[in-house]
Amino acid sequence: MSFQEFWWGTSLSSYFKSRRFNIICNTLELDLEKKLSILDVGCATGKDFIHFIGERENISITGIDIDDYVIDQKNVTFIKGDAEKLDFKDKSFDFVISMGVLEHIEPIEKLCNMISEIDRVSKSYCIVVPCINTNIEPHIKRFKWQIKDYNKKNQIKGIGINYFSDDAWLKFKGFKNAKTKRFWYIPGVFSNLMIYKRG
């Protein structure tokens, strides 16, 4: 078992995920008592967002991921698929969430398509990616990267992670009307960037 696998199973990890969930809901002014349709892009097992919604009858959730997962929650429909081309009508979802996904998408054309699709099918959305000036980045195993000046982090080749500044993320066509907000996922350690649009 890797450290990451161990960490995700701890109650401390659950606490920080719950805290992040609340930051997202407060920033987007999501009223979880209202009838809502939600799409989770790159949902995996649902541990980052779907789990915290719970089995609320007023909320229908669709999770999409390129890998097969089972999410045992009555209000969730899982689709195995690629978010580069979403088979939904424009503005089909009240809210679209994607956490820890877009930083992994290559090539850049695919990333552009996914961002545009998220914008197209959503009335509001929230994308969470690593913040370029986070103190520690769990995706990167190289210690030297962790202490590198944040302006040079995106210049390292071969890490397989998209590290863009806040302003650079907002230059993607699908993020034209979006805002950004930085927040501490784990205070003083991991910083995330939220790219969001309210409906």
Q: Classify residue 135 as exposed, middle or buried by CB count within 10 Å of its CB (0-12, 13-18, 19+).
A: middle
Is the previous residue joined to 107 through a cis bond, with omega within 30 degrees of 0? yes
What is the extent of the structural domain holding 51?
Answer: 17-197
Q: What's the CATH number where 152 sits? A: 3.40.50.150
Q: Within a domain: residue 3?
A: no
Report the side by side order of strands in the sheet with 95-99: 76-80, 59-65, 36-41, 95-99, 125-130, 190-197, 179-186
Q: Is residue 10 part of a domain?
A: no
Q: What is the pLDDT at residue 145?
A: 45
Residue 115 forms part of a structural domain: yes
The pLDDT of residue 7 is 66
CA distance 80 to 188: 36
199 residues of the chain, pLDDT tens digit each = 665 666 667 788 889 999 999 999 999 999 999 999 999 999 999 999 999 999 999 999 999 999 999 999 999 999 999 999 999 999 999 999 999 999 999 999 999 999 999 999 999 999 999 888 776 666 555 545 444 554 554 544 555 678 788 999 999 999 999 999 999 888 888 889 999 999 8
pLDDT score recorded for residue 146: 45
Residue 176 belongs to a domain: yes
pLDDT at 158 (0 to 100): 53
Give domain status of residue 119, yes or no. Answer: yes
Considering the domain boundaries, does residue 11 fall inside one?
no
**Residue 152 in tokens:** 């040079």
Q: Shortest CA distance to 36 belongs to which of 20, 18, 54, 57?
A: 57
Count of structural domains, the chain: 1
